[in-house]
Amino acid sequence: MNQTHRLRIALAQINPIVGDFRYNSDKILEYIQRAEKAGAQLILFPELALCGYPPEDLLLRPAFIAESQRYLLMLSSRVQEIIAVVGFANGRGGVYNAAAVLRRGRIIGIHHKIWLPNYGVFDEKRYFQSGTRPLLIKVNDIRIGINVCEDIWVPNGVAEYQAIVGNASLICNISASPYHANRRREREEMLTSRARNCGAHVAYVNMVGGQDELVFDGGSFVYSPEGELLARGPLFEEHLLVADIDLQANHRTEKQIYFHHEYQLEEADAGDLRSPAGSPMPPKIQPAPEELSEIYAALVLGTRDYVQKNGFRKVVIGLSGGIDSSLTAAIAVSALGKENVIGVLMPSRFTSRASLEDAERLAHNLGIRTYTLSIEAIVQQYEKELAPVFEGRERDITEENLQARARGNILMALSNKFDWLVLTTGNKSETSVGYCTLYGDMAGGFAVLKDVLKTKVYQLAEFVNREREIIPQRVLEKPPSAELRPDQKDEDSLPPYAILDRILAEYVERDRSINDIIAMGFDEPTVKEVARLVDRNEYKRRQAPPGIRITPKAFGRDWRMPITNHFTNMVRE
């Protein structure tokens, strides 16, 4: 009968800062100490935890790679009895996305990531070479497979090879997997399948934190060989997940699998480990949040990290009394605290009394400081100076945009004077079709709702009000309006958002053709007009501030359309 070894494993879902090697290495050492106090024998850190993820073109700088290697050597000298698996950028023989195994003051082995994702937000083939030799580490008489992120996503790939050919009883995957809604379920389904195919325990650690547009949600896992969830970490917060697992030596599986590649496995001896003292730790499975709670938490974390990691303390928001600025302000307060959020009311002759009252009530409910700065005199002066040039022409969108740009100038002036970061309030529906003003409401440093469709904005506002009224009820009930001309409503220029958002989800997020969307039952002229607006407003989106990604396809890293573009997304009959 095979002997069973109890292993106490720690999964450190930490929030590193790209390029801050000292901060990241101190964080790694802190979590190693915490794991040792918990009696853990093996600790996993996320993908590229030492340098932060994604470092993008910093990887092209030799000095950056040199620092990564220097700090790894420093870390290895500080690791003693615990086995630590740390993600870093390795520059030896090329640049690799690597996982180093550290113990007893030395680097025991290194795994180079084999499958490099090059889709969506990923550009890894731009920076890294592919590894060729999956790593196994030998502990007592058991083997543990080490791999990185995409290595485990590919079926019949690295993980199965390590388990079935390499006889690994445990597969350890270190990841930096970006968040989008329902991503956790996709990971759970994949890991359940992978554990069963491997016939081995699977431990998966994921990074947490915001990095520019991306949010990493943590939610680390441990699975049994039967695909049973044994432990799960929380989402959107740093956490040390500790779990006991029973590993069987000389593990075998009868599964017959066709592998994509035959690999030459590399094995490193990590030395012996004693079983942890005391009774086994009970499993900890953090509850999974509902979708709206999950999205709201992602927006809060992405906002907090963008503001704080870029050296800001306070943010400023133009409060219109509308749904978008109200939700943005609520998220900012959740992220930064009410003392670090400033609201600015900027009424014009077209601003309704109700909108001013709603903005004031929102600010009161949130407890934030506000300023009221009228744009009327500024706009009138603009119009006076332009009158000789505009003589003989009717008022149109030009005068509406002057108002938006006056507001943008005020917010940027406050930003310059007081070092407040301007949070823009536009949502994905508006930016998709260009229902926004360049250098006006698009002016700012960060777009919190950039990837949130208008219908989802309303759902999130209801979520904010789930315990008490924060966003005034009238804001949720009144028709949305930019209030740049008398009695203006968004639906004067756009289809109802319930229809618009469904078309946008198909055209933008799922890449459906115009004909395909029409075939779903949508009105043909409406679909064609929405597609036309999306296509012709790429130049605006290219100049928009970064914002938080919460869908599988967001404007920014996911979306790289040419501005000069004559292609019509119609299937020819």
- Give the residue numbers annotated as catalytic, written as ranges: 47, 113, 149
Q: What is the CA radius of gyration of the chain?
A: 27
DSSP state of 293: H
Instruction: Give the helix/strand (H/E) hosting 103.
Output: strand 96-103
How far the first Cα of the chain sits from its last, in Å, is: 67
CB of 368 closer than 8 Å to CB of 358: no
CB of 218 closer than 8 Å to CB of 206: yes
Q: What is the DSSP string of 414-479?
A: HHHHHTPEEEE---HHHHHHT-S-TTTTT-SSEETTTT--HHHHHHHHHHHTSSS--S-HHHHHSP
Grouping H, G, I as helix, E, B as strand and the rest as coil, residue 535 is helix
Alpha-carbon distance of 420 to 313, in angstroms, equals: 7
**Under the phi-then-psi rule, with left for phi > 0, alpha for psi from -120 to 50, and beta for the rest, what region is 100?**
beta
Alpha-carbon distance of 301 to 24, in angstroms, equals: 18
CB of 309 closer than 8 Å to CB of 284: no
DSSP state of 547: B
Alpha-carbon distance of 475 to 469, in angstroms, equals: 11
Q: Which of 47, 161, 186, 18 minimizes the C-alpha distance to 113?
A: 47
Tokens standing for residue 84: 């630590």
CB of 457 closer than 8 Å to CB of 427: yes
CA dist list (Å): 5 to 2, 140, 195, 246: 10, 9, 19, 6
Residue 27: which residues within 8 A CB-CB, separation 6 or more?
14, 15, 16
Residue 188: which residues within 8 A CB-CB, separation 6 or more?
221, 229
CA dist list (Å): 415 to 102, 316, 423: 46, 7, 10
Residue 115: which residues within 8 A CB-CB, separation 6 or more?
130, 150, 151, 153, 154, 157, 158
Tokens standing for residue 312: 């800001």
Residue 69: is it exposed, middle or buried by C-beta count within 10 angstroms (0-12/13-18/19+)?
middle
Alpha-carbon distance of 112 to 128, in angstroms, equals: 10
- Apex CA 230: angle with CA 227 and CA 233, to 5°? 120
Instruction: Give the helix/strand (H/E) hosting 356.
Output: helix 353-366
